[in-house]
Chain A
């Protein structure tokens, strides 16, 4: 088990390193320098270069860059808001994005689980069909179509919730975006729960439990669900990716001041520094979540926990 965790950790750190290397290389190819001001004389520029270590060899610069990135010192934005430290730009935005993403995951997981369980227990009935239709629609219709529909009916026609994000009403404003984002989560979790539950329901030990007289909720929750839930952890990582891309669009539709909309603005106004920092943050979050999911899977699945080597890699 310890070896398994160490191996996963090593791969994650390695990947993060590759990402930073990639970003740093790209940065070297970008036109212009941080000191583009025409008023600076050559000597002044040399002083500034020395101050920020830009006269050092590339390898040393890269080392500094890695240390700064890990410390959270991301440099300044060039075009979006001139010379504002990026960490300051991120401060409020990260919270808003995480809040909406978190709500979407929570809502999606709960509804998805319920739908999946219903579909599996009453397998082959009308409930199963309804749940399947909901999940097919949820998987195939892009989240921004939902977002547009919700914005039109609940934000504009009925005016139940604000159409655009309001800073002074964070909860009310985050309802529609969270619902729009969670459709995909609902659909994938419901699909997965259903198929896993069906597999467990058909297994020998459930037959044994039933013949010993276990039935009803006790059978479902204690014997079936506990075993069916283990593999569901693995769908978390792809779901997070879906949320990341989804958040970009949903944040644009509802004008939410989050990191997704910051990335879009940065790309449109060619603010390289911000783009690179956000790419780093997205990758770091994703790699971190994948690591947690892998370790979690190892911890809760006895087949991995008890074996010395990871069975799959």
Chain B
């Protein structure tokens, strides 16, 4: 208790010191100082393409969450009597679009057909509505598309985690310690990088069952290399600077220097790079599912939906359209978002 009293007595108080000539200093009120994040945010807001992408991604996320919920069907239930139905939407059907009509190309010419018609003489339609139509097993494509989108979004999150946890630490540690540690770590990365991802995934499939877990493991083996390179290069640039030396002199541990002194200085670049790895990961998953190495039936991802609809895409082209458009939009928007972030964090890069 005594100690605390003494400490309180000898501690400096706010008015113990005064800045000499403080009354003469003037603050620049016209241009307030801006933090790095605010600056980046302002620049990002001005980028129309990036903002648009952000909104589209947000909408896709919303639809992926709520799309399957608002539909009366589940992604795996089959309707034997209602296979290959063209899209039909309440309200819109009265305007003559999306009313379940489809044109079939036959050997004799074109033929109009509406699979919803129950009674051919009166033209009465059944009361089922499939917003994106049904596939060859009578499964609702609307529900399946958004369920599949969830898989792609899960992969996006996995890609970010791998980049941030594995790639980042690997690169920073390798660059910071240098010398033998760096040599060994770089040789290891080089060897993994020299084996094509395709081969790594194929070999994994031999050992494990195809599925989401296998794809996640495959991404964990290969996904971190690009990020680790960028992090290492940035670390090599920064570690010789004065503020690092100052931090060392004050007795900071290696861990502290790496993660709380250097990391904040390069975070912009790293975030940008993470964003660029998302479309890559989504593509890898979609590609694997497309060639039949991904999610097993009846579960679905965008890739497996495209692969499935591809079998009948000349007769029922509407089945392949929703997953293809969602996939292409996701890839495009994540790329444009990453471009926008790069320009926002590093305006010098914009002209390149």
A residues near B, CB below 8 A? Answer: 11-12, 14-15, 18-19, 22-23, 26, 29-30, 136-137, 139-142, 144-145, 148, 152, 156, 163, 195, 198-199, 241, 244-245, 248-249, 252-253, 263-264, 267-268, 272, 275, 278-279, 282-283, 286-287, 290, 313
Given known pairs A241-B197, A275-B206, the reply for A145 and B324 (CB within 8 Å) is: yes
Interchain CA distance A152-B186 in the complex, whole Å: 46
Given known pairs A26-B207, A198-B351, A252-B291, the reply for A245 and B197 (CB within 8 Å) is: yes
Within 8 Å by CB of B206, from A141, A272, A287, lies A272
Q: Chain A residues with Cβ under 8 A from B345's Cβ?
A: none
Top 9 nearest A-B pairs (CB, nearest first) are A140-B335, A140-B331, A15-B194, A279-B199, A140-B332, A195-B352, A286-B196, A141-B328, A264-B291
Q: Chain A residues with Cβ under 8 A from B306's Cβ?
A: 144, 148
Given known pairs A30-B206, A141-B331, the reply for A249 and B290 (CB within 8 Å) is: yes
Q: Chain B residues with Cβ under 8 A from A14's Cβ?
A: 191
Given known pairs A156-B314, A279-B199, A282-B196, the reply for A142 and B291 (CB within 8 Å) is: no
**Closest A residue, CB atoms, query B282:** A142
Interchain CA distance A241-B331 in the complex, whole Å: 19
- Is B52's CB within 8 Å of the partner chain A? no
Interchain CA distance A283-B192 in the complex, whole Å: 11
**Closest B residue, CB atoms, query A313:** B186
Known: A18-B191, A267-B291. 5 other contacts (CB 8 A): A140-B328, A144-B306, A145-B327, A244-B198, A282-B198
Within 8 Å by CB of B320, from A148, A163, A252, lies A148
Q: Among B310, B320, B334, B339, which residue has the most Cβ atoms of chain A within 10 A?
A: B310
A-B contact pairs, 19 of them (CB 8 A): A12-B194, A22-B203, A136-B332, A139-B335, A140-B279, A140-B328, A141-B331, A142-B283, A144-B306, A145-B328, A148-B324, A152-B313, A241-B196, A244-B198, A245-B198, A263-B202, A267-B291, A275-B203, A275-B206
Interchain CA distance A287-B190 in the complex, whole Å: 11
Given known pairs A26-B203, A137-B332, A267-B205, the reply for A19 and B195 (CB within 8 Å) is: yes
A136 touches B310 (CB 8 A): no
B291 touches A198 (CB 8 A): no
Interchain CA distance A156-B314 in the complex, whole Å: 7
- Is B158's CB within 8 Å of the partner chain A? no
- Is B141's CB within 8 Å of the partner chain A? no
B195 touches A144 (CB 8 A): no
Q: Which of B281-303 contact A (CB under 8 A)?
A: 283, 286-287, 290-293
**Closest B residue, CB atoms, query A266:** B202
Least CB distance from A176 to B in Å reads 14
Q: Chain B residues with Cβ under 8 A from A272's Cβ?
A: 206
Within 8 Å by CB of A198, from B203, B279, B352, lies B352
A148 touches B310 (CB 8 A): yes
B324 touches A11 (CB 8 A): no
Q: Chain A residues with Cβ under 8 A from B191's Cβ?
A: 14-15, 18
How many residues in B have their beta carbons less than 8 Å from beta carbons of A? 40
- Is B336's CB within 8 Å of the partner chain A? yes
Interchain CA distance A144-B292 in the complex, whole Å: 14
Interchain CA distance A152-B292 in the complex, whole Å: 21
Least CB distance from A267 to B in Å reads 6
Interchain CA distance A260-B324 in the complex, whole Å: 22
**Closest B residue, CB atoms, query A245:** B198
Given known pairs A15-B194, A290-B194, the reply for A142 and B327 (CB within 8 Å) is: yes
- Is B317's CB within 8 Å of the partner chain A? yes
A268 touches B292 (CB 8 A): yes
**Closest A residue, CB atoms, query B233:** A312
Q: Chain B residues with Cβ under 8 A from A252's Cβ?
A: 290-291
Interchain CA distance A268-B293 in the complex, whole Å: 8
Q: Chain A residues with Cβ under 8 A from B287's Cβ?
A: 142, 144, 245, 248-249
B328 touches A15 (CB 8 A): no
Q: Among A156, A199, A248, A290, which residue has the most Cβ atoms of chain B within 10 A?
A: A248
Interchain CA distance A282-B203 in the complex, whole Å: 12
Least CB distance from B189 to A in Å reads 12
Interchain CA distance A18-B190 in the complex, whole Å: 12
Least CB distance from A147 to B in Å reads 10
B328 touches A11 (CB 8 A): no
Interchain CA distance A114-B45 in the complex, whole Å: 33
**Closest A residue, CB atoms, query B330:** A140
Q: Chain B residues with Cβ under 8 A from A245's Cβ?
A: 197-198, 287
B194 touches A286 (CB 8 A): yes
Least CB distance from B178 to A in Å reads 13
Q: Chain A residues with Cβ under 8 A from B202's Cβ?
A: 263, 267, 275, 278-279
Interchain CA distance A286-B193 in the complex, whole Å: 10
B293 touches A267 (CB 8 A): yes
Q: Chain A residues with Cβ under 8 A from B286's Cβ?
A: 142
Q: Which of B171-217 contact A (CB under 8 A)?
A: 186-187, 190-191, 194-199, 202-203, 205-207
Q: Among A139, A140, A275, which residue has the most Cβ atoms of chain B within 10 A?
A: A140
Interchain CA distance A142-B352 in the complex, whole Å: 25
Given known pairs A22-B203, A145-B324, A267-B202, the reply for A152 and B314 (CB within 8 Å) is: yes
**Closest B residue, CB atoms, query A242:** B283
Q: Among A23, A148, A156, A198, which residue has the most Cβ atoms of chain B within 10 A?
A: A148
Interchain CA distance A241-B203 in the complex, whole Å: 17
Least CB distance from B204 to A in Å reads 10
Within 8 Å by CB of B195, from A145, A268, A283, lies A283
B194 touches A142 (CB 8 A): no
Interchain CA distance A264-B314 in the complex, whole Å: 23
Interchain CA distance A286-B222 in the complex, whole Å: 15
Within 8 Å by CB of B196, from A23, A139, A244, A313, lies A244
**Closest B residue, CB atoms, query A199:** B352
